[in-house]
Amino acid sequence: MTNRILALIKARSAKTVAAFMALTFLLSTPCFAYTLPAASPITVLPIDHAKFLAGQKFDFLVEVHDAVSANITVTVNGTAAEQYFGKTAAVKLDKSLASYRIDNVAFKNAGTLEIAVRAATADGPATRAVRYEVVNNVAPKRAKNVILFIGDGMSLQARQMARILSKGITEGRYNDLLEMEKMSNTAIITTSGYDSLVTDSANSASAYATGHKSVVNAMGVYADSTPDPFDDPKVENIVELAKRTRGMATGIVSTANITDATPAAMVAHTRRRSELNTIAASMLDARHRPDVILGGGAQQFLPMATPGSKRKDNRNLIEEFKALGYSFSGSRSELLSTPLAATKLLGLYNLDNMNVYLDREVLKNPTVLGGFDDQPNLMSMTGKAINTLSKNPNGFFLMVEGASIDKQLHVLDWQRATYDTIELDKAIGVAKEFARKNGDTMIIVVADHAHGASITGTYHERDGKTGREAVRIYADSVYPTFEDRDGDGFPDNPDPDVTLAVQFANHPDFNASYRLQQQPTVPAIMANGKAVANPQTQGEFQPGNIPASDPSEVHAADDIILNAQGPGSEYFNGVMDNTEVFFAMARALGLDGKRGLK
């Protein structure tokens, strides 16, 4: 074979030679194969193939199941782990679970590492080897600031719904694109956690914040096997790194409870996202206390004795923040009248999640708003956050979440979800305007997971047909009749004559109406442990196609889209793992994790 090729090389032109060389290479390359990981009684956390920023702090934990002794040998690239990290390990045997733990360590230099573990189990000696990668890449042109926009549950289809409603489509061509679609770089992002194919918002936001995958309901930690939600091994997050290594300003903004999974994952460390009391209090911790905290969820900040509080203690976190110099605002007008000199903001605009844009700014039904009739929109929250954070000469990291895209898709309310996607897009416009003037800011727009919502066609009842027969498919899918005559980016009528037919790949039992629900309405309720169609709704009954234990539409494992612009955004290209969002931010900022390390 080789001889024949060599003979041909002499005879043929360079172009042909190159083609034959490529063919030879392909023929000699073995087919890609993969196997399932072998089961092991030894768990190493961080997990196999974990990637670290050089100097990023983490807790190292080895657990041995079916252990007969606490005698565990751990080496890092052949050196005893205690010697490598310069710290003594805490070793213990609790029944048949042995553990070996060294907290608050870091890998100082880039490269690959092999961790080897030996332990004694009931089935005899066991070994385990895992590999880590440590990086310290710096972008050629560094960004001073990073703004990370997370559209919670904002699948590709959710973005397209926003494009159709916000920009309109004429004879097959969109009249314009969304702000998030007019950015220099695009990547497809995979979202799975290390425990399961389908992720949740805690786990996915944690991947963005730390560069490490975790499990459903967890943030800033790997999950150990004990039930305590606060003892799991931690990994340092972007807010902590930005503060520790460079004294940057940091901020979190969301339309949800500010203790909800996505904003919480930027700062907190817990195995269980529902520990909201603790997450709220954790935001006071100087290591990751954001300078700007704007969102809903005052219920977690008020003392138990205050009506409306969800705390189980009498701490008044609003007063504690104020004592640290934070300007507090509880409404839109208070936010807008915050003193210009303020460098620290706490804004909580609802006891619970903020209302969605459609209810807050368009329909304004007093029953739905429940007294909260002066909530700011995401554009003004984003603008105020940027103005405040940009006073820090060391730069800033800001995360802005459009939270209810997800919450409304969960309840099959694509109209409310879409208005919130448009609201997020307009907030992105505010950030792009800041970046245009300053040129030193990387902006990232990404979802955290997808939903099973699909645009099947359009829906109208012009010919008297209703329900599924009025879902217009293929050539019958005449264009929807949304219009934005006032040019505010939102369609004037959320429920026009011809609307979109949005259908869901997964759903509980529900009654499909295809039309806008005048008030937020859940599709299904729990009755005796089973989700049944909400008896308060009308429409065509659709039997659920997911377990009856869940009364909502659920996340999809579908890949999501990321857009980015500004210094460092060239990192985003092709298909990427969700943890790369962290490494792109660290690279763009040129964060040096070794700074400030003892």
* Residues near other proteins (CB under 8 A): 200, 217, 257, 261, 272-274, 276, 298-299, 302, 304-310, 312, 318, 330-331, 348-352, 367, 370-372, 411, 522-530, 532, 534-536, 548, 551-552
CB 375, CB 366: distance < 8 Å = no
Closest to other proteins by CB, 331 or 456? 331
> Looking at residue 219, what DSSP letter applies?
B
Residue closest to 153 by CA, chosen among 515, 553, 543, 523: 553
Residue 373: CB minimum distance to other proteins, A:
10
DSSP E strand boundaries for 387-447: 396-402, 441-447
CB nearer to other proteins: give 247 or 543: 543
Q: From the CB of 411, what's the least distance to other proteins, in Å? A: 7
Cβ at position 257, least distance to other proteins in Å: 8
Comparing CB distances to other proteins, the nearer of 167 and 311 is: 311
User: 309: which DSSP letter?
Assistant: -
Residue 543: is it exposed, middle or buried by C-beta count within 10 angstroms (0-12/13-18/19+)?
Answer: exposed
Closer residue to other proteins, CB minimum distance, 247 or 370: 370
Angle at 85 between CA 40 and CA 279, to 5 degrees: 75
CB of 418 to other proteins, least distance (A): 20
Nearer to other proteins, 310 or 587 (CB): 310
Non-local (6+) Cβ contacts of 2 within 8 A are: none
Query: 286, 33, 256: which is closest to 150 by C-alpha?
Result: 256
Among candidate residues 270, 278, 288, the one with its CA nearest the CA of residue 311? 278
Q: Is 571 helix (H, G, I), strand (E, B) or coil?
A: helix
Closest distance to other proteins from the beta carbon of 551 (Å): 5
The least CB distance from residue 297 to other proteins, in Å, is: 9
List, in sequence order, every residue forming a beta bridge with 532; answer none if it has no partner: 525
Query: CB 261 → other proteins: shortest distance, Å?
Result: 8
Hey, what amino acid is at 35? T
Smallest gap from residue 154 Cβ to other proteins (A): 19
The phi and psi torsions of 52 (rounded to 5 degrees) equal -125, 150
Name the E strands within 7-123.
Answer: 42-45, 51-53, 58-64, 67-76, 79-80, 90-94, 97-105, 111-121
Pick between residue 398 and residue 411 the one whose CB is nearest to other proteins: 411
Q: How far is CA 168 from CA 337, 490, 534, 542, in A?
A: 36, 10, 33, 30
Residue with Cβ nearer other proteins (21 or 304): 304
Nearest distance in Å: CB 61, other proteins: 22
For residue 396, count CB atoms less than 10 angstroms from its CB and return exposed for 0-12, middle for 13-18, buried for 19 or more.
buried
Q: In whole angstroms, give the CA distance from residue 231 to residue 221.
A: 9
Cβ proximity to other proteins, 30 vs 371, nearer residue: 371
CA 461 – CA 178 distance, rounded (Å): 29
Q: What are the strands of the beta sheet with 79-80, ordered from one edge?
A: 51-53, 124-135, 111-121, 67-76, 79-80
Report the C-alpha gap between 103 and 216 in whole angstroms. Answer: 23
Distances in whole angstroms, Cα of residue 537 to Cα of each of 150, 363, 413, 525, 531? 31, 20, 13, 11, 14
The amino acid occupying position 436 is: R
Cis link prior to 229 (omega < 30° from 0)?
no
CB of 272 to other proteins, least distance (A): 6
Q: Taking the complex as a whole, how short is the minimal distance between the CB of residue 201 and other proteins, in angstroms?
A: 9
CB-based contact 277:229 (threshold 8 Å): no
Cβ closest to other proteins, residue 210 vs residue 257: 257
Cβ closest to other proteins, residue 98 vs residue 205? 205
Instruction: Classify 467 in phi/psi space as left (phi over 0), alpha (psi -120 to 50) or beta.
Output: left
Q: For residues 555 and 544, what is the distance between their CA atoms, to the nearest angstrom?
A: 15
Nearer to other proteins among residue 16 and residue 337 (C-beta): 337
Nearer to other proteins, 257 or 499 (CB): 257
Contact 490, 473 (CB under 8 A): no
Task: Supply the minimum distance, in Å, between the C-beta of residue 565 and other proteins.
Answer: 33
Toward other proteins, which CB reaches closer, 74 or 218?
A: 218
Q: How far is the CB of 305 from other proteins (least distance, A)?
A: 5
Helix ranges (H only) for 111-194 are 156-167
Phi, psi of 7 (to 5 degrees): -65, -40
User: For other proteins, which is the closer residue by CB, 207 or 412?
Assistant: 412
| In the complex, least distance from residue 317 CB atom to other proteins, rounded to whole angstroms | 12
Cβ nearer to other proteins, comparing 322 with 594: 322
User: Closest separation between CB of residue 200 and other proteins, Å?
Assistant: 8
